[in-house]
Structure 1
């Protein structure tokens, strides 16, 4: 399953947020062989960017590791509202 996490952050915190997420993702990759990406919407709404972390094909238990990494990184201090988590899978071929 692929894990997608999106949230909003103030435009003024964009550089700090990006640095924290990239460091957190690099740290996670030393623990597990998991790919990681970071994206943001090109526009802002009310001074907020929407950011998305992408983790393809995550192993079981990854979300708990990620939650600890987020807490240790201080990332939540830069986020407005909450982190929204969604899982997606490859569709199976129709018969």
Structure 2
């Protein structure tokens, strides 16, 4: 048996037009219902606390989805779920996915 890959925490950021805020919020709720129902994964949604000059210039905000303790299979299916939820059609530009794993704790030296 091979070692099981370490779970990842994934962060997905993208821009939403101010005019699409309500529709995008509803779509994210549908997305989270899909991730919970199919994978038992409960996401979190946030938006940028400090509005960037880029956000102001483009009339939108940067949003961030967060998923903790997921595997590669989840990340592979996520784009399909984004389309199913209706969120894909509401975004300004692309979604950017970044995943991180915990740094292993060094083994304790023998006494």
Using the size of structure 1 for normalisation, the TM-score is: 0.88
Deviation (angstroms), 1:94: 5.2
The worse-fitting range, judged by mean Cα deviation, of 77-86 and 66-75 is 66-75
Separation in structure 2 between the aligned mates of residue 76 and residue 49 of structure 1, nearest angstrom: 16
Aligned length: 95
Structure 2: 5+ residue stretches without partners? 1-7
Give the match for residue 21 of structure 2.
Answer: 14
Unaligned 5+ segments in structure 1 are: none
1:45 maps onto 2:56 in alignment: yes
Q: For residue 3 of structure 1, report the CA deviation from its aligned partner.
A: 0.9
CA distance in 1, matches of 2:79, 2:29: 15
Q: Check conservation: 2:35, 2:42, Cα contact below 8 A.
A: no
Task: Indicate whether 1:26 and 2:26 are aligned.
Answer: no
Q: Distance in 2 between matches of 1:74 and 1:60?
A: 22
RMSD: 1.5
Task: Report the equivalent of 2:102.
Answer: 90
Within-5 A mapping of 1:67-86: 67-86=79-98
Q: Does the C-alpha gap of structure 1 residues 77 and 93 become closer, same or farther in structure 2, counting only changes over 3 Å?
A: same
Moved segments of 4+, more than 6 Å: none
